Structure 1
Amino acid sequence: MKQLSARKKADVAEIQAMLANPVDLGTVVIDDFHRLSEKTKRDIADLMKTLADEAADHSKLVVLGITNAGQSLISFGRDLANRIEVIPFETNPEHKVEELIDKGEAALNIELNVRNDIISDSQGSFYIAQMLAYNTCLRAEIYEADEMRRLTEESYHAVKAQVMEQLARSFHDRAVAFARGTKLRREGRAPYLHLLHWLSQSKSWSINTLRETDRHPAQRGSVHQVVTKGFLADLIDSSDEIQQVLHFDPASHLLVVQDPQFIFYIRNLSWHQFAEEVGFISIEFPSRYDFALSFAGEDRDVAEALFAALSEHELEVFYDINEQHRILAADVEEYLAPIYQSEAQMVICVLGPAYPRKVWTKFESVQFKERFRSGEVIPILLSTVQVGAFDEVGRVGHLRWDRGADQKDQLDAVVGVLLEKCAQRRSGGRDEARWVVPLPE
């Protein structure tokens, strides 16, 4: 039997050579299958199908991988489902962990007062149970078996804190690096941090990143962007340290923990304290959206540029085209009204000549009209109209957008102001109703 690992370059080269000339392989075990390239995975799936069809008794392939590795393999060849056997290695049941503790207590002639906490917190991991029991013994100064049976009197909180301190040496910096993402957006919705938090709540050590957004709509846009645009995969691929604890499969959108110590560490983090340490202003989002865009179709180019730029900063922005699949077949007025009334923390009005004449902009403006008083409406006045055309705008501060000037420079300037506004709101600060933000001409 030959054992190969996708973690070793020499073994990967041997796997590829084997695939190129699959003759009388014998039994080959490929570990860490999930770390192979998509092409190599597909070639392995093709070879397994061929071996199964030929009922080859001279060659057998066994692949080992993280959670759902078997499903990932089948995704490369749907007809493999009835040709191969997938053997899941589940977490150990509590009675098996209890049996492990019993044997340790018998060997040392002790009784752990925190055994029930250890069994519960280990969540089926022998390694975690042993780690917690070991530290309980260290705190009780038990280093070897004693003739007299001894009952420990340790605080489980203290035991867990000691374990967390040890784990932090290995995992703190990696967790922070992942939570910050490719670039820290302090005012953003912290998509990487939320992915890590959702992962910590998973009993299976894995999450479907896109499916999670259905359960957490406040992070839908920011998480969807980092997943579908490849930012999440790039972040993990760029760091050997992160790769040791996390794996992401772009084909299935699965994010998986690879180390039992790391899952214990993130499950027991103080998440508010961690978020503050990472550098986020806040991870509490009372509104579904940070901004809702209101504009006439003639000025869609400005609205779309704002949407793209704000989304890049990991903010949630309501933009009609991006939500068409949700609006479809819904009562449009019932769908839109709450967004402009309260579900968006702030409303951005792109005010051009056509704005007062459109049916939907009239409807939207009625919904958010009262929000001018609380500084929650941000008008962007295009150079093609005068302030007098919009009475409410004349009474509050507003931003200018000159269609004849460089659009990129203006976009950067406007987005910079909007980010400051969002950061102020996120940190709990409130503006006066007549806020004024000058924009360079």
Structure 2
Amino acid sequence: MSKLTVEDVFKISGVPTHTFVKPSEFSRLMVALRTPGRGVVVEGPSGIGKSTAVTKVLDELEIAKDVVKLSARIPSDVEYIELLPELGGFGTVIVDDFHRLDDKTKAHLADLLKVTADQEDTTRKLVIIGINDAGRALIKSSPDLSNRIDVVKFEIEPDSKIGELVAAGENALNVRISAREHIIEKARGSFYLAQLLCMDACVAEGVIEKPDAERVISTSFAAVQRRVVERQKERFGDTVRAFARGTKFRPSGRAPYLHILKWLSESDSWSISLSEEMRKHPTEKVSVSIVLDQGYLKNLTDKVDISEILHFDPDARILAVENPMLIFYLRNVSWPDFVREVGFTNVDYRQTYDFALSFAGEDRSYAEHLRNALEDNGHTVFYDFAEQHRFLGQDIEAYMGPIYASDSRAVVVVLGDRYGRKRWTLFEASQYKSRIEAGEVIPIWSSAVAPSPYDEMRNRGGLEYDPLGDLLQQATSHADALSKMIAERSDGSSARA
């Protein structure tokens, strides 16, 4: 008779046997699954044990053999899923990875759930499994569905449940794991992570089969963590770095995607609401809102490699991990090293904006081109028209004053023929005046304005634009020069630090 192996005990693929622990929602899930004709939505983070729990409930109900299991990750299954509304009494069907279906298919399944519930059809039962807010996505398609389905939410499991799993594995394999308390803590409510960490500890100690006498697994958790993180770096590193760099990588840019990853690593859950995170992180709010509002984040997460590890719902603004090991990697990677690997030179900043533009209305055409070119280079720019909705009904001077005084890395002043003759340019100048000596105010002279011996900024290095020339070409060239200036100043501060 062959000996029990470590992979049989601490399973990281398939349904666990020796280490299965009933999750907190197990009883509620059983009631939902045995109620005829009523749809069930099982939602929660990846790796939390949703699919395993469903399988175990079906086994206990002794109906597993009659259930059809489909996955939105398998193209042939997706074709079958799309046909479900036309199939009549199809019995019990499970649709896993529901969040990966397109909106049209989700809407058809929502209609099917509604009709099945209204008709109390006992010949078919649809079970949906997806990551966070799968139920919300269904109800968005069919708002009156909320009272016709059972939504079972799998949250992060308590440490006591993770402890049960570890103890069951130790007993089955005849071992005692010295790092068990650290494993319980670092698993952060994930059965999957606990299995993997326990298995790695045993393998490192050379225990790959059940020993005749009890063995103490003395491998330190730090050693386990380093090995696991290193393996995940090989697995996720290139993709995570590509996400952090975004679509237009600039080493001196504001790094919005990098900050999104950091927020995800700090979350207690395996998904984050970007709206909530922006409220908690006002310094990064502007740069992240740009990649959200412009659809850049959606386009990035739609890329094949990235979509395998991250899922973004643009309507709910929720970003969730697709792979449970990704969150462990993000939580335990050395962030200073990661920032250096990605190549950002300016992530420890205090200002909200890279540049604040100051100009008179007559130069708006050029200023708008400049703003667009700077944003294309990965910078955040204060541009009055883009912020109008933020200061409606507010004290404009109180809102704008700090931006020109200190809340931007540099102020770019477009000195056209009307600058300094209008109220707002005078106000803005009064706010940034103290920054001129520090070289934080960059003048861009209009060639239509004759130099004056009384102009205090003429002795400062600046740029020049021709209001009658090609504004786009000039703005693009000037934006590149400003980007290089910020990059060199960032490198200088890093070197001094």
Structure 2 residue 76 is matched with structure 1 residue 13: no
Residue 342 of structure 1: how far off its partner (Å): 0.9
The separation in 2 between residues aligned to 1:100 and 1:125, in whole angstroms, is: 10
1:21-44 per-position Cα deviation (integer Å, ceiling 9, x unaligned)? 253333222111111111111222
Q: CA deviation at 1:137?
A: 2.1
In structure 2, the partner of 1:120 is 185
Distance 1:324 1:218, change over 3 A: same
Q: CA deviation at 1:418?
A: 0.8
- Residue 97 of structure 2 aligns with which residue? 32
Identity of aligned residues (%): 45
Q: Classify the secondary structure of the residue corresponding to 1:124.
A: coil
Aligned partner of 1:194 in structure 2 is 259
1:298 corresponds to: 362
Where does residue 358 of structure 1 map in the other structure? 422
Which residue number corresponds to residue 78 of structure 1?
143
Q: Taking structure 1 as reference, are residues 62 and 105 closer, same or farther at Cα in structure 2, changes over 3 Å only?
A: closer
Correspondence for 1:439: none
Please, which of 285, 288, 293 is the counterpart of residue 228 of structure 1?
A: 293
Letter of the structure 2 residue corresponding to residue 30 of structure 1:
V
1:141 Cα deviation after fit: 3.0
User: Normalized against structure 2, the TM-score is what?
Assistant: 0.82
Partner of 1:436: none
Matches within 5 A, 1:83-94: 83-94=148-159
- Residue matched to 2:223: 158
Cα distance in 1 for partners of 2:454, 2:474 equals 22
Letter in 2 for 1:224: S
Correspondence 1:248-267 to 2 at 5 A: 248-267=312-331
Displacement of 1:390 = 6.7
Pairwise CA distance, 1:429: 4.4
CA contact 1:236–1:243 (8 Å) conserved in 2: yes
Structure-1 residue corresponding to 2:371: 307
Asked if the contact 2:248–2:376 (Cα under 8 Å) also holds between the matched residues in 1, the reply is: no
Q: What is the aligned partner in structure 2 of residue 168 from structure 1?
A: 233
Instruction: Give 3-state SS (helix, strand or coil) of 1:255's partner.
Output: strand
Report how far residue 352 of structure 1 moved: 1.0
Secondary structure (helix, strand or coil) at the match of 1:86 reads strand
State the distance in 2 between where 1:410 and 1:330 align: 34
Supply the distance in 2 between the matched residues of 1:90 and 1:196 (Cα, whole angstroms).
Answer: 21
Change in Cα spacing, 1:389 to 1:65, as seen in structure 2 (3 Å) is: farther
Count of matched residue positions in the alignment of Structure 1 and Structure 2: 428
Instruction: Tell me how far 1:245 sits from its aligned partner.
Output: 1.4
Q: Which has the higher contact order (CA 8 A, sep 6+)?
A: 2
Deviates more, 1:289-298 or 1:145-154: 145-154
- Contact 2:369/2:471 (CA < 8 Å) preserved in 1? no
CA contact (8 A) 2:447 2:464 kept: yes
Using a 3 Å threshold, how does the CA distance of structure 1 residues 57 and 108 change in structure 2: closer, same or farther?
closer
Q: Is the 8 A contact 2:241 2:342 kept in 1?
A: yes
Which string of whole-angstrom CA distances, capped at 9 and with x for unpartnered residues, describes residues 365-423 of structure 1? 01111211111001111122123287122120111011122122111110001101111
Q: Which amino acid aligns with 2:386?
A: N
- Where 1:373 maps in the other structure, the secondary structure is coil
Q: Does structure 1 retain, via aligned residues, the 8 Å contact 2:311–2:320?
A: yes
Matched AA of 2:199 = Y
Cα distance in 2 between the residues matched to 1:300 and 1:165: 51
Paired residues for 1:32-431 under 5 Å: 32-239=97-304, 241-388=305-452, 391-429=455-493
Letter of the 1:11 partner, please give it.
Answer: D
> What is the Cα deviation at residue 150 of structure 1?
4.0
**Where does the alignment leave 5 or more consecutive residues of structure 1 unmatched?**
431-441
Cα distance, 1:277 vs structure 2 = 0.6
1:438 maps to which residue? none
1:239-288 per-position Cα deviation (integer Å, ceiling 9, x unaligned): 2x322211112222211101111111111111121111112112111212
CA contact (8 A) 1:248 1:255 kept: yes
Shift of 1:57: 2.6
Question: Which of 379-388 and 415-424 deviates more?
Answer: 379-388
Counterparts of 2:399 and 2:454, CA distance in 1? 26
**Residues 83, 387 of structure 1: alpha-carbon distance in 2 compared, 3 angstrom cutoff:** farther
| Structure 1 residues 64 and 127, CA gap change in structure 2 (3 angstroms) | same
Question: Contact (CA 8 Å) 2:369, 2:476: kept in 1 or not?
Answer: no
Return the offset for 1:148. Answer: 4.7
TM-score (normalised: structure 1): 0.92
- How far apart are the structure 1 equivalents of 2:365 and 2:282? 26
RMSD between superposed Cα atoms in Å: 1.9
Task: Name the amino acid aligned to 2:136.
Answer: Q
> Against the structure 1 CA distance between its residues 106 and 15, is the aligned structure 2 distance closer, same or farther, given a 3 Å change threshold?
closer
- Residues 181-210 of structure 1 deviation map (CA, whole Å, 9 limit, x = unaligned): 223222211111111111111222111223
Change (3 A) 1:390 1:164: farther
